[in-house]
Amino acid sequence: MKEITAIEFNDVISSGQPVLVDFYSTECPPCDALAPKLDSLEKLFGNELVFVKIFRQGNRELAEKLGIRSSPTLLFYEDGKEVCQRLAGGIKRSDIIREIGHIAGKEKTAKILSDVKPIVTEADVAILGAGPGGLTAGLYLCQAKINTVLIDIALPGGYMATTHMISNYPGFIEPQPGYMLSHNMSEQTKRCGTVYKVAVDVSRVDLVKKEIVIDNYETVKAKKIIIATGTTPRKLNIPGEQEFMGNGISYCATCDAKYFDNKEVVVIGGGNSAIEESAFISKFASKITIVHQFDKLQANMEAQEKAFADPKISFMFEHEPRSFSRNGDKMEVEVEELKTGRRKMIVSDGVFVFIGLIPNLSMFSDKLRQDEWGYIKTNEDMQTSIKGVYSVGDINSKKYRQITTAVADGTIAAIAITRELD
């Protein structure tokens, strides 16, 4: 891709041809993940758009003037005017193609894509999921000189990347910001030689044939597969939840707590996540009401003690939410007192839901042995019921789900696979 500077910017975007501009930075893993996608798309759509990149740190004034807040950020221009949706962060190939489609036209885009020749990538091991479990498996495998491809629908890090502070990962005296631990783990595995295919669409997985199709055109064929796809926050499935998801209801304190500075929030749940994340939300919010179905909390004692000592936090035990609604700027949670069946409304500025997790297994059509909650059952080598398929981390049937336990599973699966491949 051609590199331009702020001085050339205006001439390029006004040249008469549509333009895609990539504002990138150095030492930026999402920018590194995006670069090969842009190179391959330039080969396909180079006649429809001009592809250029600008070094953000070196052209800071222009970046600030354009309101660029993160790297990479993709902007699209036609006749000197910005068009389409800006894309930032973990940008998928399909996102870029969608926006190009607005410029080149749907038919032309589809025609160009229909000429794309599918490619096959061979690997010894394919890992699905780049959270701590998948990253550790990747590290051990590449150190054993095993050709490994690590695939994730998002950027590496899993839950680690969005956890505010991590105080229980051994080796660090002070609590570590989750994004930093995630960055270090990811860079360690990448530098060792593991091939990353991140922020991709996983189109199809055949566990028996050991084939994974990504972005609808690349098939990764492997001898072994490790599933490390983790979990997704459980939903309440009550009226209003779907409607206000991301618009009043959040499942991620690290992502959204900052928007509740000096505001009142409701937290649903009483386990580790709910109580630990409430401590974080308390840095911002003026009042937190925790709604919990049982008569006591299920979180670890240390977290409980902190929560009980926090003057901003109050509790509604033996209550369950029944519906969400909005009244102007306010969120309303209708709660039921379980003993009496009496219902009342709690009015707040926002709601956080932390009521547990469900395993990310829906992309597998092959039947894996699971426990009663849907988590994968493995033997002590992390091998699943399908030959050559291993699973690690939170997706496994186990009692305790932590970064350390995911890392341990990843270690075991990688060593077991190394022995088998030897």
Ligand X SMILES: Cc1cc2nc3c(=O)[nH]c(=O)nc-3n(C[C@H](O)[C@H](O)[C@H](O)COP(=O)(O)OP(=O)(O)OC[C@H]3O[C@@H](n4cnc5c(N)ncnc54)[C@H](O)[C@@H]3O)c2cc1C
Q: Quick one: 104 or 127, whose CB is closer to ligand X?
A: 127
Q: What are phi and psi of 350, to 5 degrees?
A: -170, 165
DSSP 132-149: HHHHHHHHHHHHTT--EE
Question: What minimum distance in Å lies between the beta carbon of 411 and ligand X?
Answer: 12
Nearer residue to ligand X within complex by CB, 273 or 348: 273
Cβ 33 to ligand X shortest distance, Å: 13
Nearer to ligand X, 402 or 411 (CB): 402
Comparing C-alpha atoms, which of 33, 66, 39, 67 is closest to residue 53? Answer: 39
**Nearest distance, CB of residue 408 and ligand X, angstroms:** 11
- The CB-of-196 to ligand X minimum distance in angstroms stands at 12
Q: Which is nearer to ligand X, 48 or 215 (CB)?
A: 215
Q: What does the binding site for ligand X look like in residue numbers (CB under 6 A)? A: 128-134, 151-154, 158-160, 163, 166, 168, 202, 228-231, 273, 277, 360, 363, 393-394, 401-404, 406
Supply the minimum distance, in Å, between the C-beta of residue 300 and ligand X: 10
Query: In the complex with ligand X, which residue's Cβ is closer, 356 or 388?
Result: 356
- CA distances (Å), 297 to each of 163, 307, 308, 310, 320, in order? 21, 10, 10, 15, 14
Grouping H, G, I as helix, E, B as strand and the rest as coil, residue 343 is strand
* Minimal distance, residue 134 CB to ligand X, in Å: 6
**Nearer to ligand X by C-beta: 21 or 153?**
153
User: Distance between the two ends of the chain, CA-based, in angstroms?
Assistant: 41
Q: How far apart are CA 262 and CA 94, in angstroms?
A: 39
- C-alpha 247/C-alpha 228 separation (Å) is 30
Query: Closest CB to ligand X among 216 and 325?
Result: 216
**Side-chain half-sphere CA neighbours of 196 within 13 A:** 30
Q: Which residues contact 415 (CB under 8 A, 6 or more apart)?
A: 140
Residue in the structure block whose two tokens are 């105080």? 167
